[in-house]
Amino acid sequence: MIKKRSKTKIPKVLSLEEIEKLISLPSPKAPTGIRNKAIISTFAYAGLRAMELVNLKVSDIGLKEGWIHIKGGKTGDRDIPISPKLEPYLISWNNIRPKHIRYFFTTLKGKRLQDRYIREMIRRLGEKIDLKVYPHKLRHSFATHTLKRDDINTRELQALLGHKALSSTQVYTHIEPKELHKKLREDKEKKKQDLNNLFQQFLNKQNELANQVKEMLDKALAE
């Protein structure tokens, strides 16, 4: 008996606009708001796993060097570049975070944040804008939007995400049904427009030819 091949489940992701909207929700005037903006941005713009984020130490954040160092991930240590979108949020939190503390993301009293708190914080913020959001969905979003860039290939994304198997990364190369439908519709509209333009060019050429013939006849009759 031949076993049916299971369909690849395409991760649901947030659009870039939805990510920005989510990041805008925490108050920039409150210390916890500044911290939470940095947390959401780190998931969305660096693609960390939840436990990787809570385990980040101050020494792992190289703001001058432009790298986040992940220690002991599923595939060992790896470095993730700090993007221009992420950098200001990390700097803002770094300026006000409790000092002489081992971990980078902490409570205002300097205690390491719990994974459960972060998940709940992100879930509640998502509900405010009618979105179902959790840390791994932000990681999926990072992967999907990163792969759309021309300068990143699947192997490079695999290294950024810390995937052991390339197949885990290749799921992001699949086009979502809505995106495929949109692309097909756009292609159809483009072909239709191209045909209309071609037909219009044909009519213009016909009119031009007719005018030339008329001019020749008028000239011949006038002689």
Each residue of 52-80: pLDDT tens digit? 999 999 999 999 999 999 987 566 788 88
Non-local (6+) Cβ contacts of 36 within 8 A are: 26, 121, 125
Band of pLDDT at residue 138, cut at 50, 70 and 90: very high
pLDDT for 144-172, tens place per residue?
888 787 677 777 777 777 766 666 566 66
How far, in Å, are 4, 13 from residue 1 at the CA level? 9, 36
pTM, two decimals, is 0.71
Q: What is the DSSP annotation of 9-67?
A: PPPP---HHHHHHHHHSS-TTSHHHHHHHHHHHHHHHH---HHHHHT-BGGGEETTTTE
> What is the reported pLDDT for 184?
45
CATH number of 16-173: 1.10.443.10
Which amino acids are annotated catalytic?
A: 49, 74, 136, 139, 163, 172
Q: What mean pLDDT comes out for the span 108-135? A: 96
